[in-house]
Amino acid sequence: MKSSNRKYIVWGIRIIVSILFIVSAIAKLYPSPLMGISSFETKYLGAIGIEGGLAKVVSRLLIGFEFTLGILILLPFYLKKITIPSTIALLSAFSIHLFFQFIGGDASNCGCFGELIPMTPLEAFIKNILTIGLLVMLLTIFKNDIKEKRNIHPVLYSGLILSLMMFVLLPQASSSVSGKSAETKASKYTKYFPSISSGNKLLCFFSPTCEHCMATGKQLKDLILKHPGIMPEVKILFMDESDNGSKEEIASFFNFIGQEFDYKVLSIEDFVPIFWADKNFPGVRYSSWGEERLFFDGTEDNEFDPEKLLKDLRRVN
């Protein structure tokens, strides 16, 4: 094989691996940095027993480390001695965990690419094994085609700076998020709305800038106008995306749907455990005297269905 072709292959592998790691880091911050990282801490780190303050530290270090490896794999510093072996070691650790998830029958999103690109443990395991294979090729078949510089300072500086940046750009909130708190039920909602367990109620989980949430809010307003005697009282829990109460966004939300409802605003850290940990926007929970009867969420199989809600309301009334 010509040396020029070998050079292209080496660079092709490095670019592919770099993209995988950088996208993986960015994906954990989707759909917004605080929402993404809170979801990652609750859904995925909490599931393996890393909770609270430790989860906040681990999540930021992991994302910083992924960014670091994604950048270092393109740089010539200690590629064969540190960067490539470290990348293989990290992928191997992830693969062992994914393998046990797979043989345990887990087919949910593994969280490798956060909520941006859902992947099952099996899919992520295959992706990791293929990536490890490419990296092993660099250390064996193409070892002599990799030109590296023996300067450790850029490696250390890159890792430290990018990891510290995660704590600067994603400051930790005072409230903690744990895997257990994601199992909250009706009793948890009474501290936001004391009358939530009295009679029929609709409790909505909205983001004030979510277009699907706005559309659902408008549907609820229309249902109330068409069926004033049957529709329950509506309460809304908004997730605060702007860290200032989202006042302007909430005002725009109600202006769009054409009606205001009783609402409370929760920080992302408080909101994630009671909804975002296992459900997607928009969420609508219908309960009768505290008993949950219907829970709609997302925009796919379980999205809000006005006819289904009306059917159950007529049955109860």
| DSSP-assigned states of every residue in 101-146 | HHHTT--S---TTTTTS---HHHHHHHHHHHHHHHHHHHTTTGGG-
The answer to whether domain 184-316 has CATH 3.40.30.10 is: yes
What pLDDT, on the 0 to 100 scale, is given for residue 69? Answer: 92
Low-confidence ranges of the chain (pLDDT < 50): 173-186
Q: Dump the DSSP string for the chain.
A: --HHHHHHHHHHHHHHHHHHHHHHHHHTT-SSHHHHHHHIIIIIIGGGT--HHHHHHHHHHHHHHHHHHHHHTTS-BSIIIIIHHHHHHHHHHHHHHHHHHHHTT--S---TTTTTS---HHHHHHHHHHHHHHHHHHHTTTGGG---B--HHHHHHHHHHHHHHHHHHSPPPSS---TGGGG--HHHHTTT-TTTTSSEEEEEEE-TT-HHHHHHHHHHHHHHHH-TTTPPEEEEEEEESSSS--HHHHHHHHHHHT---EEEEEEHHHHIIIIITT--SSEEEEEETTEEEEEEESSSTT---HHHHHHHHHHH-
Residue 90: per-residue pLDDT: 92
Q: How far is CA 215 from CA 18, 159, 259, 274, in A?
A: 39, 44, 13, 22
pLDDT in tens, 79-100: 999 999 999 999 999 999 999 9
Please list the residue range(s) of the chain that carry CATH number 3.40.30.10. Answer: 184-316
Q: What's the pTM?
A: 0.59
Q: What is the pLDDT of residue 272?
A: 87
Query: Residue 21: what pLDDT?
Result: 95
Tens-digit pLDDT profile for residues 152-207: 777 777 767 777 776 656 655 433 333 333 333 445 788 899 888 888 899 999 99
- Which of 130, 92, 98 shows the shortest CA–CA distance to 111? 98
